[in-house]
Amino acid sequence: MKDFSIEVHGAHAYDATGAISEPIYLSATFRHPGFRQSTGYDYGRVANPTRGELESAMTMLERGGCTWAMSSGMAAINIVFMLLSAGDHVIFSNDLYGGTVRLANEVYARYGIEATYVDTSDLAAVRAALRPSTKLIYIETPSNPMMIISDIRALADLAHDAGALLAVDNTFLSPHFQKPLTLGADLVLHSGTKYLCGHNDVIAGFLTVAENHDALAERIQRLVVSSGPNLSSMDAWLMLRSLKTLGVRVERQAATAKRIAEWLGTQRHVTQVYYPGLLSHPGYELQCQQATGFGGMVSFKVESAELAQEILGRLKLIAFAESLGGVESLLTYPKVQTHAEMPEELMRATGLDDKLLRLSVGLEDAEDLMEDLDQALNA
């Protein structure tokens, strides 16, 4: 099936009632037919029918082997880190969500996990950073918030030649636009709170493993059952409902984002625009090769930090708020909000500074959004 059909129907098998909407199974435990007999559901932390339907739909969308729906994107990232052992080495994109960096530097570094941050769009830099102990390359593409594009297929080859895994945070594009597992990645992650939810009302995360990775899937299943990061059945049902409109939402958001990015490039107070759908973006051609869209995220710099902060207070339609991917447009100040704990040397390396703003384009009328940005820029 094509993506739009998967998003609407998933793997939904109708029950005896013929219910179009997947039922919400709120039971924490399930009755056994007899001794050593099971329906396939024993305890809600291990398996739940509603969550299982969501996980099947995500597996189909990502063209993967199996998926785990979790309580947050950070829970999914944590499970990936739990695959590592003391003495293992990880290569990270140097432009990365601040929470991922915090988890690596403040938590897993205490357990002997070593990390190197490099520009993963530079294959030579990644190759130079590889060690015999490298077990994981972890990237975001496009990256948050500088929109750096990394070559998934080439990085998968580098990782596998070194005996390592490639994990891709696919939050910014969603599986509707990009399918890293089909390009050789071993693991794909999402903050489901963002585009997959799309309505700013559910905190969720997803981890999908590639097909034919049975041993890896078994290890992840053991970690998930043991640590209990599972998504609740009610939130799983809400996510199923959100997936039905994923394609129509993200395609509209991407179209509007491109218009706004082009418009921002003409504004006298804007000094730089970061959007992979612009021909001037250094990763444009690569993005066209490995994805079917450019997403709804636009970062841009203005003339001064003072102006950036003033813009945030002048907004009328767009909300000054953290997060992204919802139907409402949000403007974020990464240096203080999403990336406040990012080491200064990493921000300097990527150009993330106090003049940068990150716009998550929603479903409002494009003209209305540009009018709001215009008055905020030029008040």
Q: Give the catalytic positions in this structure.
A: 45, 97, 169, 194
Alpha-carbon distance 238 to 376, whole Å?
35
Is residue 168 a contact partner of residue 137, using CB atoms and an 8 Å limit? no
List the beta bridge partners of residue 272.
301
Sign of CA dihedral 62, 68, 72, 74: negative
| φ/ψ bin of 72: left (φ > 0), alpha (ψ from -120 to 50), beta (otherwise) | beta
CB 74 within 8 A of CB 99: yes
Backbone torsions φ then ψ of 238, nearest 5 degrees:
-65, -40
Separation between Cα atoms, residue 277 and residue 172, nearest integer Å = 13
Token pair of 117 as six digits = 């941050």
Q: Whole-angstrom Cα distance, residue 245 to residue 187?
A: 24
Gap between the Cα atoms of 358 and 347, Å rounded: 15
Q: Which residue is associated with the tokens 């794909």? A: 188
Q: What share of the chain is helix, strand, coil (3-state, %, to 5)?
A: 40, 15, 45
- Using the structure block, give the residue that is written with the tokens 């596998």: 160
Contact residues for 52 (Cβ-Cβ < 8 A; gap 6+): none
Tokens 């919802």 belong to 326
State whether the Cα torsion 12-48-84-119 is positive or negative.
Answer: positive
Torsion angle of alpha carbons 339, 343, 347, 352, nearest 10°?
A: 20
Write the DSSP symbol of residue 231.
Answer: P
* String of DSSP letters for 302-341: ES-HHHHHHHHHH-SSSEE-S---SSS-EEE-TTTTTTTT
* Three-state DSSP class for residue 136: strand
Helix axes 214-227, 73-82, angle to 10 degrees: 120
